[in-house]
Amino acid sequence: MILFLPRPISIANLSNNIITFLYEVRGKGTHIISKLNQGGDKLELLGPLGNGFDLNIKGKIALISGGIGIAPMIYLAKELEGDIDFYCGFRNEVYYIDIIKEDVDNLFISTEDGSLGHKGL
């Protein structure tokens, strides 16, 4: 068991008793997480924490997020009923959009370097 202070990480998916986290290696804690061995190492989780999202919203919904901030929106998009426009912005590297596409009606991408989608924020 590896011990370190908790870091807030969103639930990116929950399916068939498996929780998915999408994370970016930023510092020491996320670096340690990235080195965990599948099937061998264990992590202690505390949660879910926070207020969550209102899932009773219906109709046309816009979800807006940037970078790793897309993580909680992926699971939210799955759970919401309605027409979902998903706006996501990235600096340069675009990730996870093939999975996001499965659960949204329209996907709008922007990149700061213009490599994909709208150029800008």
Q: Which of 2, 14, 20, 26 binds ligand FAD (CB under 6 A)?
A: 26
Stretch that binds ligand FAD, among 27-35, 39-47, 55-63, 91-99 (CB under 6 A): 27-35
Query: 92 near 112, Cβ under 8 Å?
Result: yes
Query: 42 near 1, Cβ under 8 Å?
Result: yes
Which of 10, 111 has the CB closer to ligand FAD?
10
Q: Is residue 23 at the binding interface for ligand FAD, with CB under 6 A as the rule?
A: yes
Q: Which of 13, 19, 30, 85 binds ligand FAD (CB under 6 A)?
A: 30
**Binding footprint of ligand FAD on the chain (CB under 6 A):** 5, 7-10, 22-24, 26-30, 68, 71
